[in-house]
Structure 1
Amino acid sequence: MRTSTDATGRGGDVRLTGISRTYGSFTAVHPLDLTVPQGSFFALLGASGCGKTTTLRMIAGLEEPSTGTVHLGDQDVTALPPYKRPVNTVFQSYALFPHLDIFENVAFGLRRRGVRGVKKQVDEMLGLVQLGEQARKKPHQLSGGQQQRVAVARALINHPRVLLLDEPLGALDLKLRRRMQLELKRIQTEVGITFVHVTHDQEEAMTMADTVAVMNGGRVEQLGAPADLYENPRTTFVANFLGTSNLIAAEAEGGSGDDVVARAAGDRLVLPAARCPAPVGRGGTVLIGVRPEKAGITHADDADSVPEGRNRLRGRITGTSFIGVSTQYLVDCAACPGFEVYVQNIDRDTRLVPGAEVVLHWDPAHTFGLDAAQSPLAGTAEARDAAGDGAAR
C-alpha cells in the first residue's frame, strides 16, 4: 500500500513518488510519496530499522530505488549518479581529511572543480559556522562539535540545492548535541536551503525540524509539524515514540455535544470528539491518551480540591523519581496500571510518596483518542526490545 504524504502546498525541493527499496524478499522501504518543502528543515525520524537512512540514501543516489522516482526541484534525478545530483551529504563520521587544515578541508570541493580564488568563499563559510579563527588548525585539534561544523561548511560551500544529514550529531555528548541542534537550525535559517535530516532522536527532530516524518517499518506513520505530532498523534506508535503517553482502554458511552464520554474501570472520562478516531459508537472501545505533563496528582485527602469537570482516576503511587526540574510519579490505577505523571518542582507535596493514595486529574481538552485495535505498546522501548533490531537502516 502506498503512503501519500505531502507536507505543505509549497513547491518541493525533494519529491519522492512511489519510491521503495527491496532486498530480495525483504522490503526496507514500502512505496511512498513524500514532498519536502523548499527551504525547510525536514526530519526523517524513527528507530533503527525503520527505513529512514535507506530513504535518505535514495535521495542522495547512494541506493537505487526498486520502484518510483526521485525529483530534486523539477529535475528527475532517479538515474543520475550521486556526483551529478545537486545534493551534498554530512555523515555522522564527518569524514574530514586529517592531513589538511580546516581551511583546505572546506576548500576541497571548490579546488576539485578547478575554482580559483577560493579564499573569499571559504572565509565566508567559516564565518557562517563561526570557525574563522580555527582556519589553520587540523581536524584533530578541534572538538567534536567544531568538526561537525567543518563538515557542514565543506558541504555547503558547493551550494547544493539540498543538504542531507545522516545522524550528524550521533557521536556527540548530550550537552554538545543540544547546543549543535540550535547551531544547525541557525545555519539552515541563514543559508535558506533545504535540509533533510535523519535521526532516531525525538528531541533532536522536534527541536530543529519544521516538518517531521515519523517512520515505522519502512512506511511514514505520520507527518506534520512537531507540535502537531506531539499533541495529536494518530497512532499508538507515534503517541509512544514521541515522548510518553498514558493509554487507557475505555468503552464509549456515546457523545455529549462536542465531547465523547467513555468509562474505564468504572471511571467516567471525557475527550473532545474532534480528537477521537472516526465515530466510536456506544459500546465501542477506544484508547484514551494523555501526556504525563498534562496530568495533575493530588493526595486523596485533598480530593475535594480538584476542580469540577476534570477527568479523574484514583490510584496508589508505586514509585517516584526526582529529576531536578520535575518529579516523575508512577501510579497504579485500576484503569491504567503504570500511569505516569510529571510535575514541576515548584511546591512539592511531601505526602506524595510510594504507597500514598492519590487522585489523578486532567483537563478533558488535553485528552486524545486512538483506535483500540492498535497495540498500546507500539513505539515503546519494550516493544522495540522485543522485536529486536530490524534489518533495514
Structure 2
Amino acid sequence: MTQQTTAPAEPQASAASGGAVTLTGISKTWGDFTAVQPLDLTIPEGSFFALLGASGCGKTTTLRMIAGLEEPTAGTVRIGDQDVTGLPPHKRPVNTVFQNYALFPHLDVYENVAFGLRRRGIKSVKKQVEDMLELVELGHLPRRKPHQLSGGQQQRVAVARALINRPQVLLLDEPLGALDLKLRRQMQLELKRIQTEVGITFVHVTHDQEEAMTMADTIAVMNAGRIEQLGAPADLYENPTSTFVANFLGQSNLIEAQVTGSSGDDLLLSVGDGRLTLPTARSAATAQIGDKVLAGVRPEKISIAHADDAATVPDGRNKITGRIIDASFIGVSTQYVVNSPWCPEFAVFAQNVERDTRLTPGTEVVLHWNPAHTFGLDATQDIEAGEVSA
C-alpha cells in the first residue's frame, strides 16, 4: 500500500488583518548594488500614502516588495497583524495598478472589472460590478472595449478591477504617468475621491511632486534607497530638513549665511553686508554663533520691488538686493530670476495682480519677505542636491 503525503498548505494572509503596512529593516540588494537601504516604515491603515522620488531612488522596488513581486534581501513586511514576507503575490491582501493598466483588450469594461470575481469562482457578480463601475463613474460604458476608451477611462477601469476584490491595500505604480497634464490633474482628484469613499489603504509611487502633494495624506521622499523625510505634504514643503527635500519638493532659494547671534525666538544671520532673521524653530541645523547655515525661502513667499522703491519696504522684513536677469510671464504669475551677490539665480514668483512694468531684465531690485517664511538647513550639505535637471 502506498502512503500518500499531503504537502503543507501554503500560508495565506488573514482576511481579518487590518490595512496598515509595516516594513521593518526592509532592504534590497543585487550584487554590489543596493536599491533600498534598510528602512523602517509604517503606513497607517486607510491612508493615502505616497513614495516620492526620482528614477532609481528605490521607491518602485519598495512597492514591489510590499506586493510580493520582489523578495527583500532582509527585513519583514507586515499587513495588519500578519507577516506576509514569505507569501507569494496572489496570497497577499493587495492589488496593484500599473502605469500601462494591463487591461484585457478582448474583454469589455464590465468583464474586465468582473474578471477577479469570476476567477475566484463567484457566480453572481452583477451588483458588485455595477457598484464598482458607479464608483469610478463608468456605469454608462459597461460594454466598451479598452481601445474605445480614453486614457483616463482606462485608468478608472484598472482601478475598479483592482478594488472589486476588496484588497486591504491598493498599490499604485506611477498610475498616471501615461496621461497628458490636464487629464492627469483630473485623475489625481478622482483617485483621492475614490480612496476616501472606499477607505482602503492606498500606496502610491510617483516621481511627480505635484501629484504626491495633491493626493497623499503622507509622503515619504526617497533618495538613493533611503527615506530623506516623511510627513504631511504641507509640513515637508514648509519645513524641509535637507537640501534634497528643499530642492526636489518644489523650488527653494538657498543662501549661505553665518549665525551672528539671537533675538528672542530668532537666529540673527549675516549675508555679506546684509542681515537676515531665521526663526529658531524652523532651523533643521543646530547652529551656534559663528556657524554657517543655509537660509532658505520659497520663490512665491518673496516680494519684488524696483530699487527706487526700496524705502517703501516695511521694517523687519528680510531683504536682499540684486538685478533681474530673466522674466517669464506664465499667466497666473511672472517668474523672475535675480542675480545677487549671495545667490546668483534667486527665483521669485510674483502673482500677476498689479504688475510693475519697470521690472524687466537689467533692472536693479529689492527682494523682501516675512522672516517667518525663512527655514534653515545644515550648510555642510550639497546646496544643489535634489535639483531636477531641465
TM-score normalised to structure 2 length: 0.95
Letter in 2 for 1:171: A
1:191-270 to 2 correspondences below 5 Å:
191-270=198-277
User: Please, which of 52, 66, 71 is the counterpart of residue 78 of structure 2?
Assistant: 71
Distance 1:12 1:232 in 2: 29
**Aligned residues: CA RMSD:** 0.9
1:109-188 to 2 correspondences below 5 Å:
109-188=116-195
Instruction: Specify the alignment match of 1:56 in structure 2.
Output: 63
Unpaired segments ≥5 residues, structure 1: 1-10, 386-393
Distance 2:43 2:72 in 1: 18
Distance 2:153 2:165 in 1: 19
Instruction: Specify the alignment match of 2:339 in structure 1.
Output: 332
**1:12–1:35 contact (8 Å) kept in structure 2:** no
Unpaired segments ≥5 residues, structure 2: 1-17
* Identity score, percent: 75
Structure 1 residue 283, shift from structure 2 partner: 1.1
Q: Does 1:80 align with 2:87?
A: yes
Structure 1 residue 12, shift from structure 2 partner: 6.5
Distance 1:12 1:374 in 2: 37
User: Please, which of 350, 353, 361 is the counterpart of residue 360 of structure 2?
Assistant: 353
**2:19–2:200 contact (8 Å) kept in structure 1:** no
> Could you say what secondary structure the match of 2:140 adopts?
helix
Distance 2:275 2:89 in 1: 58
Letter in 2 for 1:191: V
Any idea what the Cα deviations from partners look like across 1:303-334, whole Å, max 9, x if unmatched?
A: 01111000000100000000000000000011
Letter in 1 for 2:292: T
Judging changes above 3 Å, is the alpha-carbon distance between structure 1 residues 271 and 12 closer, same or farther for their aligned structure 2 residues? farther
Instruction: Specify the alignment match of 1:6 in structure 2.
Output: none
**1:272–1:367 contact (8 Å) kept in structure 2:** yes
Instruction: Specify the alignment match of 2:34 in structure 1.
Output: 27
> Could you say what secondary structure the match of 2:260 adopts?
strand
> Could you say what secondary structure the match of 1:178 adopts?
helix
TM-score normalised to structure 1 length: 0.94
Letter in 2 for 1:166: D
> Could you say what secondary structure the match of 2:343 adopts?
coil
Structure 1 residue 279, shift from structure 2 partner: 2.9
Question: Greater Rg, structure 1 or structure 2?
Answer: 2
Letter in 2 for 1:216: N
Instruction: Specify the alignment match of 2:308 in structure 1.
Output: 301
Instruction: Specify the alignment match of 1:318 in structure 2.
Output: 325
Structure 1 residue 281, shift from structure 2 partner: 1.1
Distance 1:375 1:127 in 2: 50
**2:19–2:201 contact (8 Å) kept in structure 1:** no
> Could you say what secondary structure the match of 1:324 adopts?
coil
Distance 2:328 2:156 in 1: 37
